[in-house]
Structure 1
Amino acid sequence: MMKGFSTVPKSAAGQADGPVYAMDLAVLLWYRSDLPREAARSYWREGHAQIVARNPALSDYRQHHFAYESTGLWPDMDGVETTIPLFRRIDGMPEVRLKGRVSLLLNSRYSKKILSDEVNVFARTILYITSIRGGAWFKSGYDEPVGFRCVALIKRKIGISGEQFERFISQELCTVLNQSVDILELRSQVFLEWDQSQWDSPGVAHDNPEDDQYHAAVIIGSRSKADMLQALDRVTDGDFPSKQAWFCSAIHAYEVENTYTYCREGRPTLPQLAPAPKATIEPLKRTIAPPTERAAKSSSERKIPKALKLPISGSTPEDVIVDTQGRLICGVADGRILRVDPITRLEVTLCSTGGRPLGLELTADGRLIICDAHKGLLSFDFQTQVLVPLVEFVNTFPLRFCSNATIAKDGTIWFTESTSRFDFEQAAGAFIEHRPSGRLLRRDPNGEVTVVLSGLYFPNGLSLNDDESAVLFVETAAYRLSRLWVQGEREGDCEVLADNLPGLPDNMSRIKNGRFWVAMVSPRIAALDSFANSSVLLRKIIWAMPQKIQPKPAHTAWVMCFDQDGRLLEDLQSSDLSYSEVTGVAELNGRLYLGTVASNERSLLEIDLELDA
C-alpha cells in the first residue's frame, strides 16, 4: 500500500476464524463439439455471464475455466482415483453462492433465461446444489494475490453416509488444507443428491450415471502452481491418505486455466452491455471541506477570448487528444474513434470499440491506447488497423470502468478505474454513495498488471511528469490533484498537490514543458457535498429517483492549468458558450480543444488562447 492513501477494507466473507456457511451450487459444463473451443469459452465468459450475473438471487458468481489437458493435480494414493478420465473430462464449472432458496424461487425468470441460453454454447450441463449450510468458505480469496487454482471434484465412497462425508470434507480435509500458509483461497461444497429435474435446460444433455456422479467440490487457490503442489502434499502426511480412501472413491483435481468473478456479495462486477437496473448503494459518511469562494463563480477573471464549435458525427466526445500531425482524436457514444483535422474539418472513423470509449493516449510506436468503460484497456494499431484488448480482467474481476491512461517511454501503461462498483451509465451512484472504490493500475510491457493504489475517490485523468519519476492524477469525487512518485528516493510516496478544488476535475492533458490542463466537468455541487453526511436512507431514496431529478452539473465550460507541483497557472471558465460538462482537454499551437459528456453534444470546442478578450 502506498503512503498517504488507505485501501478499501477487505471483505470479511470467509475470512473469519471459522468457515462461513451458505447455500452454494456448481454446474459442470461441456462445450459443444461443433464450436471452436476458444469461441465457446468466449461466449461463456461474455454473453452467458451477462445473463447469469444479473440474477438477483446470486450473492457470488465465479467461472472456473479448466485447463484442456488437465490430468489431475491430486497426489496419487491407494484406493482413490486421482487421474481424470479422458472420456469424461469437464471443460469448466461456474461456482455460485446463493442469497437463499427463497430468493432463488422468487427470481425463477432469471433461471429460465439462463437455461434457454445454455444451448448456444454447451452440449451437456450437470447441476449440483448444497443444503442451506452445505457450502463452506474458509478463505474467500477476494483481494488475495491468487495466481493458481484447482477445483477438486470428489466422489463419495459407497457405504459412506452423506452426513459422514460432509463432516470429513469440511472438518478434516479442508482443515488440513487450511493449515497450509500457501493456501490463499479455500471453499468447499458438499452436494445434495443429484436431481436432473432441478436443471433441465432444453436442447442440452443432462445424463449423469450414478458411477459418474460427484458429491463435493473443493476450490483451492495459491500464489503459484509450486505453492499449490506443496500445499497438496499435506494430504499425503501420516494416515490421512487412508482416511481419504475410506471416505472418497475419486478426487479429480482440475487445474484452472482462468477464473472470472462476475458477482461479489450481491453486486454484478461486469460492465453492462444493455440497460440494467440500478445497482444498490451502500453509503458512507465522510468529512468534506467547504468549497472555496471560487466554486460559486460562473466565470473566471480572465475571459475566454474566442471559442468555436467543431462539429463531429458522434455525440459526447468524452476525451480529446492531438496526434503527431496536429489532428484531434476523440471517442464518441456509439463506440467509434474519430480523427478530425481542426483546420480542414475532415473527419475519419479510425475504428469502433463496440463499447463506450473514454480516455485516449498515443504510444511512441504508433498505437492508440483506448480506455473503454465496457471493454477495458484496448490498443489500436494505425498501421494494421487491428484493435486488441490489453486488459479485460484484474485479479479475476472485469475491468469495469477503465477511465484514462498515460504511457511511459518503455511502454508501461498507467491507467485508472474510476469505480469498481458502478457502470459508466450509473456513475452518479459513486458520488452519492461517497464510498471510495477507484484504483490506479499499471500494466508493464510484459503484460503483467498491478493494482498500485486502491480506495480512491473516482480517479480519472492522469499523466507522467516530464522525467517520468511521478504520476500525477486527479480524484473527481475528492476534488484533488495528487502525485505518486514511481522512481527515485521517494518511490511509493503519494502526496496531495492541490486540494479542495472548486470544481470536479476530470481528464488531464499530457504534461508538457512542466504544465498541463485539467478539464473541470462542473463546479462543486452543493447537494453532492451535503450527501457526505446525510443519512443512508435519504441517499438511497435519492438514488432510487429518476435521473432527471437528481443533482446535475452546472451549465459551464471550465478548464484549469497547473504546473507539476500543483500550482495554478491558468483558470478559464465561461457559462456563455453553449458548451458544458467538459471532460477532456488538449492543447495545440495556442489553442485548446475540449470534449464533453453533455447529452447529445456533437462537437468539440476550440478556444484560441492567443487572442485578447
Structure 2
Amino acid sequence: MSTPDYSARDRNVRHNVYASVRKRDGLPHDLFANYWRDVHSTLCSRIPGLGFYVQQHFDRNHTANLWPVADGVNRITAVLDGSAELGFANLQDQALFGETGPILYSDEQNLFSEAIAYFLPTGSTTFVDREEDGIRNGPDRLHRVHVYMNRRAGPDPSKWLEDISSDLATKSAVQKWKLHLPSPYDNANPAPPSPNVDHHVGADRLNLAVAEVAFENARAARAFFDGGDFQKMLHGQAKHIDALGAYLVTGIYTFVRDGVPTAAGLRGSRPAELIDIVGAANQLAPEILERFAPTHARAPQRIAA
C-alpha cells in the first residue's frame, strides 16, 4: 500500500520568495532562534497578503555527509542558520504584502547579519510530500536537507534539475522533494531592503537553485546516495552545477497556510508547542483566537491533499 502524497496542498502558492538567513554576529544561537520563532514570526504572519510562511532552521555545526559532491564542483561554504519561505496566491497579494513589508524589514537588524531573498515569480514545485502534517511546528521528524546548487549559465541546468527532481522524487526512500528555481540574484538591487543587514552574495550563490529533500533518517539517505539512480544524477552534476552546499534542517515552523495564520503564527511557535503538549484545545477556540487576531478568527485546519 502506497503512502499518501500531500504535495497538492502547495498548489495555492503561485508566487513565492525563498530567503536564506544567518544570525546576527554575537547573538547567542538560542536567543536568535527564539526571537525568529516567537517575535519576528508573529509580526510577519500579520502582514496582509501573505498566503504561506514557514521557517526551516539549520544546524550550522553539522555539514558532513549530507549530499555527495561530484568532482569538478566547488563547495558552497556560506554559514547559514535557516531559510524562510513566503508564498502568495497571486501578484496582487504579493504587492499588498510589499506595501507593509518595511515594518518587517526594519526588525531584521535585530536578528540577522545576512538575509538574501530569492524571487520565484512562477512559484516552486513540490514533486512529492509524504508528511501528513502540513502545519508542522517543532523539531523535524525527518532527515531533511536543503541542497544549494549554483547553476551554470544557460537554460539547460534548470531543465536538468527539473528532470532529475521529477525522476528521483518517485523513489520510495524520498519523503519530500521540493525544488526552488529562483531568478538570478542581483547584488545591485539588495533584497530584502533591510537596514544594517548584509544582502550581498558571492558568485557561488548568484544563480542559486535549492532542493528540499527529506528521508526517514540519515541511514536511508546514505543508501539512496549509493543507489544507481542517484549515481546517474551525480555523473551529470558537474555539467550543470558549479558549486554546491547542503544544510541540515533541525526544525520546521509553519506560521501561515492558505492565507490563515496557524496557532504558531498567532501566538508564537513555543506557545503553540505548549498548547499541543498540554492538550489545551480550548486555546484554539474561535472566541479565544479572536482575541489575538480579529480578522483571522477561525482555527487553522490540517489540510489533506
Shorter-chain TM-score: which interval? 0.7 to 0.9
Structure 2 CA distance for partners of 1:91 and 1:436, relative to 1, 3 Å:
closer
Identity of matched residues, %? 21
Q: State which of 101, 104, 112 in structure 2 corresponds to 1:122.
A: 112
Partner of 1:100: 90
Structure 2 CA distance for partners of 1:44 and 1:75, relative to 1, 3 Å:
same
Deviation at residue 214 of structure 1 after TM alignment = 4.4
Q: Which has the larger radius of gyration?
A: 1
Q: State which of 16, 22, 33 in structure 2 corresponds to 1:41.
A: 33
**Equivalent-residue separation in structure 2 for 1:375 and 1:208 (angstroms):** 31
RMSD: 3.5
Q: State which of 179, 182, 188 in structure 1 corresponds to 2:173.
A: 182
Structure 2 CA distance for partners of 1:182 and 1:421, relative to 1, 3 Å:
farther
Deviation at residue 94 of structure 1 after TM alignment = 0.7
Structure 2 CA distance for partners of 1:124 and 1:181, relative to 1, 3 Å:
same
Deviation at residue 399 of structure 1 after TM alignment = 3.6
Summarize deviations over 1:198-222 as a string: whole Å, max 9, x none.
Answer: 4221111112233442421111122
**Equivalent-residue separation in structure 1 for 2:148 and 2:30 (angstroms):** 24
Deviation at residue 107 of structure 1 after TM alignment = 2.5
1:25–1:96 contact (8 Å) kept in structure 2: yes
Query: Is 2:4 the partner of 1:14?
Result: no
Query: Is 2:23 the partner of 1:31?
Result: yes
Partner of 2:50: 58
Query: Is 2:57 the partner of 1:68?
Result: no
Find the residue that maps to 2:73 and give its secondary structure: coil
Summarize deviations over 1:132-155 as a string: whole Å, max 9, x none.
Answer: 1x4111234552594221111110
Partner of 1:149: 144
Deviation at residue 54 of structure 1 after TM alignment = 2.0
1:401-440 map, 5 Å: 401-402=275-276, 415-418=279-282, 424-426=288-290
Structure 2 CA distance for partners of 1:399 and 1:41, relative to 1, 3 Å:
closer
Structure 2 CA distance for partners of 1:21 and 1:266, relative to 1, 3 Å:
closer
Find the residue that maps to 2:20 and give its secondary structure: strand
**Equivalent-residue separation in structure 2 for 1:264 and 1:419 (angstroms):** 19
2:13–2:89 contact (8 Å) kept in structure 1: no
**Equivalent-residue separation in structure 1 for 2:245 and 2:112 (angstroms):** 21
Partner of 1:170: 162
**Equivalent-residue separation in structure 2 for 1:423 and 1:137 (angstroms):** 35
Partner of 1:226: 219
Q: Which has the higher strand share?
A: 1
Amino acid at match of 1:189: H
Partner of 1:139: 128
**Equivalent-residue separation in structure 2 for 1:166 and 1:84 (angstroms):** 18
Summarize deviations over 1:68-104 as a string: whole Å, max 9, x none.
Answer: 21325111322223x552xx21111112222222211
Structure 2 CA distance for partners of 1:140 and 1:249, relative to 1, 3 Å:
same
Find the residue that maps to 1:185 and give its secondary structure: strand
Find the residue that maps to 1:56 and give its secondary structure: coil
Summarize deviations over 1:314-357 as a string: whole Å, max 9, x none.
Answer: xxxxxxxxxxxxxxxxxxxxxxxxxxxxxxxxxxxxxxxxxxxx
With normalisation by structure 1, the TM-score equals 0.42
Amino acid at match of 1:139: V
Partner of 1:243: 236
**Between Structure 1 and Structure 2, how many residues are aligned?**
288
Runs of 4+ in 1 over 6 A off after TM superposition: none
Find the residue that maps to 2:51 and give its secondary structure: strand
Partner of 1:286: none
1:177–1:231 contact (8 Å) kept in structure 2: no
Find the residue that maps to 1:191 and give its secondary structure: coil
**Equivalent-residue separation in structure 2 for 1:187 and 1:74 (angstroms):** 16
Structure 2 CA distance for partners of 1:71 and 1:250, relative to 1, 3 Å:
same
**Equivalent-residue separation in structure 2 for 1:59 and 1:437 (angstroms):** 14
Structure 2: gaps (5+ residues)? 134-139
**Equivalent-residue separation in structure 2 for 1:222 and 1:437 (angstroms):** 25
2:176–2:213 contact (8 Å) kept in structure 1: yes
Greater relative contact order, per chain length (Cα 8 Å cut-off, separation 6+): 2
Q: State which of 199, 220, 245 in structure 2 corresponds to 1:206.
A: 199
Find the residue that maps to 1:14 and give its secondary structure: helix
Find the residue that maps to 2:8 and give its secondary structure: coil
2:108–2:194 contact (8 Å) kept in structure 1: yes
Summarize deviations over 1:528-587 as a string: whole Å, max 9, x none.
Answer: xxxxxxxxxxxxxxxxxxxxxxxxxxxxxxxxxxxxxxxxxxxxxxxxxxxxxxxxxxxx
2:7–2:130 contact (8 Å) kept in structure 1: no
Amino acid at match of 1:152: V
Amino acid at match of 1:122: F
**Equivalent-residue separation in structure 1 for 2:243 and 2:35 (angstroms):** 31
**Equivalent-residue separation in structure 1 for 2:116 and 2:41 (angstroms):** 17
Structure 2 CA distance for partners of 1:60 and 1:11, relative to 1, 3 Å:
farther
Summarize deviations over 1:510-544 as a string: whole Å, max 9, x none.
Answer: xxxxxxxxxxxxxxxxxxxxxxxxxxxxxxxxxxx
Deviation at residue 233 of structure 1 after TM alignment = 3.8
Summarize deviations over 1:264-293 as a string: whole Å, max 9, x none.
Answer: 1221113566xxxxxxxxxxxxxxxxxxxx
1:24–1:189 contact (8 Å) kept in structure 2: no
